[in-house]
Amino acid sequence: MPPHTAPEVVLASGSPRRRELLTSLGVTFRVQAADLDERSDQIHPAEVARDLARQKARAVAQASPGAVVIASDTVVALGDVQLAKPASTEENAAFIAQLSARAHHVYSGVAVISPQGEDAEVSETRVVFRALTPGEVQYYARSGEGLDKAGGYGIQGLGAALIERIEGEYSGVVGFPLSLVIKLLRKHGVAIWGEV
């Protein structure tokens, strides 16, 4: 058998969390963030996450023929409302106040494109916030941690203190669901921890 030649892997994301998580899988890759206006014709948050992940992967794959391109998108849904990244500390406080004492869902889409074709799947995690005091809401919003994050919080930081419980994959809330990332990268011939 000829030796396995590792395909070039491109992470189509500017997110430092996604970079760290992909590095933890032992994958060598380069980063090329997709430059696109995040808009989807889809309605359901799971389909929005899948569609935007696919759009990001396609945008970068065009410029990287032969590579394995991976992209992701995270949508936070509270009932029918999708909470994007807050535009200000005030909006972040409003998001956190809305999430308090309730359950919401985090959908993270993962898309992989390679010469083999295209795949896109979505992970869903249910997150329940504890009942927060007005002081806690303000303290968290002023920390600034939630400003670059969908839903206005980061489970991997101070945001862990806002949460009572989660059902589903933790890494999906962080924005890079590892079970899907591993499955799809292996399907496209990328070794994870040295194994294809």
Ligand X SMILES: Cc1cn([C@H]2C[C@H](O)[C@@H](COP(=O)(O)OP(=O)(O)OP(=O)(O)O)O2)c(=O)[nH]c1=O
Catalytic sites, residue numbers:
73
Q: Are 84 and 68 in contact (CB under 8 A)?
A: no
Q: Is 163 in the site for ligand X (CB under 6 A)?
A: no
Residue 14 · residue 60 · CB < 8 Å: no
Q: Which is nearer to ligand X, 105 or 188 (CB)?
A: 105
Does 121 participate in binding ligand X (rule CB under 6 A)?
no
As measured in angstroms, the least distance from the Cβ of 188 to ligand X is 18
Alpha-carbon span 61 to 114, nearest angstrom = 8
Query: Do 132 and 162 touch, CB atoms closer than 8 A?
Result: yes
Query: Of all residues in this chain, which one has the CB nearest to ligand X in the complex?
Result: 175
Look at residues 123, 89, 95, 93 and name the one whose alpha carbon lies nearest to residue 107.
123
Interaction of residue 14 with ligand X, rule CB under 6 A: yes
Select the residue interacting with ligand X from 29, 107, 129, 153 (CB under 6 A): 153
Q: Which stretch binds ligand X (CB under 6 A): 15-23, 40-48, 58-66, 179-187?
A: 15-23
User: Does 106 sit near ligand X (CB under 6 A)?
Assistant: yes
From residue 133, give the alpha-carbon distance in Å to each of 102, 158, 165: 14, 15, 18
The amino acid present at 102, given as its one-letter code, is R
- Span of 69-77, 88-96, 113-121, 180-188 interacting with ligand X by CB under 6 A: 69-77
44 CB-near residues (< 8 Å, 6+ apart): none
Helix (H, G, I), strand (E, B) or coil at 90: helix
Stretch that binds ligand X, among 90-98, 116-124, 171-179, 180-188 (CB under 6 A): 171-179
Question: Which residues form the interface with ligand X (CB under 6 A)?
Answer: 13-15, 17-18, 33, 38, 56, 72-74, 76, 106, 149-151, 153-156, 159, 173-175
